[in-house]
Amino acid sequence: MEYTAEDEILITESFDDLLVSCEKICKSEEDWEIIKRAFTLAKEAHKGVRRRSGEPYILHPIAVAKICVNEIGLGVKSVVASLLHDVVEDTEYTLEDISAMFNPKIASMVDGLTKISGVFNAETSQQAETFRKMLLTLLDDVRVILIKIADRLHNMRTLGAMPREKQIKITSETIYLFAPLAYRLGLYAIKSELEDLSLKYRFPEQYREIEQKLNKTQEQRTAFIEKFDAPIIRKLRESGVDFEISGRVKSIYSIWSKMQNKQIPFEEVYDLFAVRIVFNPSPLIPEKSQCWHIYELVTDIYPSRPDRLRDWITYPKANGYEALHTTVMGPDGVWVEVQIRSRRMDDIAEHGVAAHWKHKYVSDDEAVSDPAFDAWLQQIRDALSSPTENAVDFLDNFQRSLYTSEIVVFTPKGEPRRIPKGATVLDFAYDIHSKLGAKAIGAKVNHRIESLYTPLSNGDQVEILTSANTHPTTEWLEHVTTPKAKQYIKNYLKKHRQNNIERGIAIFEQRMQELGITPSARVFRKLLPAYECSNKDEFYSKLGAEIIRLDHIQEILRQNSANKILKFWTLFVGNKEKENIDDPEPDKKGDKSYVVGAGDDIDENRPSFEIAKCCIPIPGDDVTGYRDPATGKIIVHKTSCNELTRLASQYGSNIVSDIKWSSHKAMSYLSIIELQGIDRIGILLDLAQVITGELSINIRELKIQSHDGIFEGTISIYVTNVQDLNTVMNKIGKIRGVEKVKRIQQEG
């Protein structure tokens, strides 16, 4: 489609706007010239192409460049690379062209921004490979990832035009990787916006609900903050502190997460507030002392919660963040978080790594050392150091390392080392040296002997004990949390795995011969899930390593593998064809939904469904499907499931979004309820009566434990839908002594 005169005006205006932003970064004629040249090329390359929203494509690279300048604080080269970032991927131009027309540096940045192309089979993930490539580029040039984040931010801001599958794929990647990355790079505002936008497109109703409730209570909150601030302002002025104080409400996403994690309504999210005090330090006293002075003044007014004091000044966060955080009891019995920072600390907090970046790169390319930033890069380098790991594992490990907070642990000589919170003695051993890890048998933690699996705490002093006769085992993998330790252990095990596979095959074949069974595909279909193995190799190697045994193999083979409940599922799936980007019209065929019953009479050509074990959705839950590339089956997850998010961020093309429940009143589904309360005689009877008597629902399992006057337990029941489940939970909640009733959500 040719651009209209209106389009041309829009493009020109948008680019002019970018040029205005560039005034603060362009220092020479060459700077202006190269930006204009990049624009001309990008406009030519994307000529006639439109985004899904209908606007000319070139507006996207311009918007990304604008974010880089205005919101991240990047320079000229980044603007040029932003303008060109989709040229190689989407048009005829090659990297060689870019290199010749601009320079090799720009070309290598554009390369880092270009997706990996080619054919990927079910075991590899193009998404994961692309991320790995992007992260590798990060080691040479952090700007690539900052531009990628800007690119993502703009795509998220314009996500409304995308079809549902794409929205789930993109929001998953955003939540799984980009928001944590933005956080790790210290881009807090962008991280927050990415999270909010993800929520907005993933759960539009819940997003709107929180937004409305926040708006409704706006005045009330402003009044509260004023009341809270008043005595602090008075006290700080009296002491001659030069400061600014600002109150803010948590982001919609963080409120939503809290509601999800704690299973509480909006009204019970109590710590909605945070107050920030930024001071201009007086020159003669160290900043640190001044922070503590302000802390003292504040906690003289409001009592603090000792367990919530965070000293990021003595040990700044890995992303360079420095501040003092405390939570105090404000007026009306409300907890308020107070953050205390100097102007310099605030600058780092607001601009994150870009602030480091500016210090690090005085003139766009000339590196200056910055210890905090370099330490962070070193961590990524460690995570990337093993080329044998497949991209999906790598991404999972890397992702996990992004969000964890850190603690400081001391060596026997008193050298402080940062390790992620939750790390064990074994992690620490590997952190010091891979050889020390491989030979570790335990440690002296604060002079006491502890096992390898003991999690370390802030301030521990740790001396690793070794033995020449020990070696890594599969069990170790369950007791380490750092990617580095995992990788070393995996590498060791892999080396020994091939031997195990061969042994496993021999053991298996012998046993099959004894039983007179031919190991057919049908046999493996039963064995693999029963032994929780995802493929034959895993099965053989576990068998060879004696992790699994064939003691019950006959019973397993006798069992009917079909899950009884599955026969009753009825789900609708839209008969939508694969999305076609060139086709701006949404696919009309989506209306032709058909019913799929996962029963015996299933039509071979229709997809069959399986209920995800991680989140166990039941009718009424908002669900999304994931087509298992190995079996073609659609695994049905709750839309809010973390595992689904992980899958969608790596195998986004397998997402099946248009799955709906059909109401099927006669059938029932398994659901698990967790309860807690004060023990009293007869409570069990009351429970059973409510469930089976009044509501005539079938209990499959009732597990109650009681200790010290408290009871807790789980009830597995069959219900027809979410409404029924809620009715049961309400009734149970009203039983005398029951304090908490909660549906079990997915683990981890």
Q: Which parts of this chain interact with Mn ion (CB under 5 A)?
A: 86, 151
Residues 6+ apart with CB under 8 A from 257: none
Mode of pairing for the β-strands spanning 335-342 and 273-279: parallel
Shortest Cβ 172–Mn ion spacing (Å): 17
Listed in sequence order, the residues at least 6 apart from 333 whose beta carbon sits closer than 8 Å to its beta carbon are none
410 and 416 in contact (C-beta within 8 Å)?
A: yes
Nearest approach, Cβ of 113 to Mn ion (angstroms)? Answer: 8
Closest CA to 533 of 582, 500, 569: 500
CB of 88 to Mn ion, least distance (A): 12
From the CA atom positions of the chain, what is the Rg in Å?
Answer: 29
Q: What residues have CB less than 8 Å from 31, skipping those under 6 apart?
A: 22, 25, 76
Is residue 90 annotated as part of the catalytic site, yes or no?
A: yes
Q: Which is nearer to Mn ion, 155 or 721 (CB)?
A: 155
* Closest CB 26 distance from Mn ion, rounded Å: 23
Q: Given the complex with Mn ion, which of 67 and 493 has the nearer CB atom?
A: 67
Please report how close the Cβ of residue 154 comes to Mn ion at its closest, in angstroms. Answer: 7
Beta bridge partners of 326: 338
Task: Please identify which of the residues 8, 13, 16, 89 carries the catalytic annotation.
Answer: 89
Closest residue to Mn ion in the complex (CB)? 151
Residue closer to Mn ion by CB (options 92, 604) is 92
Smallest gap from residue 183 Cβ to Mn ion (A): 21
CB of 182 to Mn ion, least distance (A): 16
Instruction: Report the nearest approach of Mn ion to the CB of residue 62 (Å).
Output: 11
Q: Which of 90, 211, 287, 622 is catalytic?
A: 90
Count CA within 13 A, CB hemisphere, residue 137.
Answer: 24
CA-to-CA distance for 477 and 487, rounded, in angstroms? 9
Least Cβ distance, residue 90 to Mn ion (angstroms): 9
Instruction: Estimate to the nearest angstrom the gap between the alpha carbon of 141 and the chain centroid.
Output: 24
Q: Which is nearer to Mn ion, 197 or 634 (CB)?
A: 197
Name which of 600, 606, 532, 538 is nearest 572 in CA terms: 606
Buried b (16+ CB within 10 A) or exposed e, 43-77: bebbeebbbbeebbbbbbbbbbbbbbbebbbbbbb
Strand order across the 594-597 sheet: 594-597, 570-573, 659-661
Sign of CA dihedral 82, 88, 92, 96: positive
263: Cβ contacts below 8 Å, ≥ 6 apart: 742, 743, 745
Sign for the pseudo-dihedral over CA of 373, 376, 378, 381: negative
What does the CA dihedral 458, 461, 467, 470 come to, rounded to 10 degrees? Answer: 0
The rounded distance, in Å, linking the Cα atoms of 348 and 562 is 57
161 vs 329 by CB, closer to Mn ion? 161
Evaluate whether 424 touches 454 at the Cβ level (below 8 Å): yes
Which C-beta is closer to Mn ion: that of 114 or that of 650?
114
Shortest distance in whole angstroms from residue 39 CB to Mn ion: 15
307 has catalytic annotation = no
**Residue holding tokens 């603090």?**
304
Name the minimum Å distance from CB 86 to Mn ion: 5
Report how far residue 295's alpha carbon sits from residue 598's, in angstroms, rounded to the nearest whole number.
62
- Residue 42 CA neighbour count, 13 Å, CB half: 29
What whole-number distance in Å separates Cα of residue 224 and Cα of residue 217? 11
- Asked whether the beta carbons of 453 and 482 are under 8 A apart, the reply is no
Q: Which string of b and e fits 404-438 if b means at least 16 CB within 10 Å?
A: bebbebeeeeeeeebbbeebbbbbbbbbbebeebb
**What are phi and psi for residue 365, nearest 5 degrees?**
-130, -15
The least distance separating Mn ion from the CB of residue 151, rounded to whole angstroms, comes to: 4
Residue among 86 and 337 whose Cβ is closer to Mn ion: 86
Q: How far is the CB of 152 from Mn ion (least distance, A)?
A: 8
Contact 324, 340 (CB under 8 A): yes
Q: Is the dihedral of CA 505, 508, 512, 518 positive or negative?
A: negative
Residue 286 CB partners (closer than 8 Å, separation 6+):
none
> Among candidates 157, 180, 167, which has minimal Cα distance to 652?
167
Q: Closer to Mn ion at the Cβ: 86 or 173? A: 86
Contact predicate 84/52, CB 8 Å? no
Burial of 380: CB neighbours in 10 Å, binned 0-12, 13-18, 19+: buried
Return the active site residues: 89-90
